[in-house]
Amino acid sequence: MDRIFLMIITLAFSLTVFGQTEKPGMQVVFDGKDLNHWNVPDTGEWTVKNEILSVKNNPQKKGSTLWSKKNYGDFVIELDFKFVHGTVDSGIFMRGEDEKNAQIQIGISGSLKRDMTGSPYIPGAGYPIEAQGVKKLLKPNSWNKMRAKAKGNTYTVWLNGVEVMNYTLENANLNGPVGLQLHPGKEMAIEYRNIQIGSM
Three-state DSSP state, 49: strand
Neighbours of 43 (CB within 10 A): 13
How far is residue 183 from each of residues 10, 60, 107, 142, measured CA to CA in Å? 46, 12, 10, 21
64-77 per-position pLDDT tens digit: 999 999 999 999 99
* pLDDT of the residue at 12: 42
141-187 per-position pLDDT tens digit: 999 999 999 999 999 999 999 999 999 999 999 999 999 999 999 99
The reply to whether 7 falls in a domain is no
The reply to whether 18 falls in a domain is no
The reply to whether 9 falls in a domain is no
* pLDDT of the residue at 3: 53
The reply to whether 1 falls in a domain is no
Domain of residue 190, residue span: 25-199
Q: Output the domain CATH number for residue 64.
A: 2.60.120.560
The reply to whether 55 falls in a domain is yes
Helices and strands in the chain, H and E counts: 2, 14
74-107 per-position pLDDT tens digit: 999 999 999 999 999 999 999 999 999 999 999 9
From the list 90, 50, 81, the residue with the least C-alpha distance to 146 is: 81
pTM (two decimals):
0.88
Number of structural domains in the chain: 1
The reply to whether 168 falls in a domain is yes
The reply to whether 169 falls in a domain is yes
| Backbone φ, ψ for residue 41 (5° rounding) | -60, 150
DSSP 8-state code for residue 144: E
33-56 per-position pLDDT tens digit: 999 999 999 988 999 999 999 999
pLDDT grade, residue 23 (50/70/90)? Answer: confident
Residue 17: is its pLDDT beyond 60? no
112-140 per-position pLDDT tens digit: 999 999 999 999 999 999 999 999 999 99
- The vertex-159 CA angle with 157 and 160, nearest 5°, equals 145
Neighbours of 22 (CB within 10 A): 11
The reply to whether 174 falls in a domain is yes
